[in-house]
Amino acid sequence: NLKARVLRDSAIIYTSEISSLKHGKEDVREAKLKTECGITLRNFTDFKPGDIIETFKVMEKK
């Protein structure tokens, strides 16, 4: 499960699943470091300049 959280002024304001990730117009499963990409989060559109997006993967511990 790929998830992301949005930080604004060092506070987490939203955590959600990643709905889509694009490089150019192409759907991708991952983005390389220091490349531009587009990300859509489920039920969140209120991005502001300066927001930070952190992505993470939730793994089940066995």
* pLDDT on residue 32: 86
Q: Which residues of 31-53 are buried (b: 16+ CB within 10 A; e: fewer)?
A: eeeeeeeeeebeeeeeeeeeeee
**How many other C-beta atoms lie within 10 A of the C-beta of residue 18?**
16
Query: Could you write out the DSSP letters of every residue in 12-25?
Result: EEEEEEEEEEEETT
Domains of the chain (ranges; CATH) run 2-57 (2.40.30.10)
Cβ(21)–Cβ(30) below 8 Å: yes
Q: pLDDT per residue over 17-59, tens digit each?
A: 999 999 999 999 888 888 899 999 999 999 999 999 999 988 8
